[in-house]
Amino acid sequence: MEEYLIETIEYKGLNIKVYADPDAENPRTAWDNFGKMVCFHSRYVLGDKHTFTVEEIQELAQRDDVVALPLYLYDHSGLTMRTYPFSCPWDSGQVGYIYADREMILKEFGGERLTKAKRERAEKVLKSEVETYDQLLTGQVYGYMVEDQHGQHIDSCWGFFGDPQEYMIGEAKSAADHFIKQLSVNPM
């Protein structure tokens, strides 16, 4: 596990070890998603399982009752994905679409009409899903272990997507604080 160690933070006499998560779950298969991610690639299995042909998804993406964003992949010493083109024409290109149709949008946001506001909300959620999937592709999924000064395991949690400073470190410190509080109540 030490090969995945990114940093160790000393906190109130405890060690918080930050790791890259080598077994991160795929958000496209393990989570409930709003959009459907349809990809085509000769070497990689990307996005959601589907039965579309390239022509069918291109046709669907043009419909008025669908919010669809193109998916671009950059493949050079790793993979990264986003909804707008990369500048390198040799190692990147469009691999599919992420979309939500009228039924999916109204189910998620309610109502009977597909309004401009609902379309904008749908687009925002679809972009967010692509960002999360990109974090998986680029290895931006982390976990932590809290250990005492003797290296004994106190707490751990895995599967944090994105910058560990944004949320995960705070969670690790909260776990450490809880342990310290429990020690003061029930000394060993």
User: Does the pLDDT of residue 137 top 90, yes or no?
Assistant: yes
159: left (phi over 0), alpha (psi -120 to 50) or beta: left
pLDDT given at position 99: 98
Average pLDDT in the 144-158 region?
Answer: 96
pLDDT given at position 184: 78
- The ranges assigned to domains in the chain are 2-24+141-185, 27-137
38: left (phi over 0), alpha (psi -120 to 50) or beta: beta
pLDDT given at position 1: 74
Beta-carbon count within 10 A of 102 CB = 17
> For residue range 8-66, what is the model confidence (pLDDT) as tens digits?
999 999 999 999 999 999 999 999 999 999 999 999 999 999 999 999 999 999 999 99
Structure tokens at 78: 């790793």
Average pLDDT in the 80-93 region?
Answer: 95
| pTM of the model as a whole | 0.91
CA neighbor of 84 nearest in space, from 11, 101, 76, 74: 74
**Per-residue confidence at 186, pLDDT binned at 50, 70, 90?**
low
pLDDT given at position 11: 97
**Per-residue confidence at 183, pLDDT binned at 50, 70, 90?**
confident
- Give the mean pLDDT of the chain: 95
Residue pair 136/45 in contact (Cβ under 8 Å)? The answer is: no
User: Does the pLDDT of residue 187 top 80, yes or no?
Assistant: no
Weakest-pLDDT range from 59-73, 158-172, 173-187 = 173-187
Percent of the chain with pLDDT over 70: 98
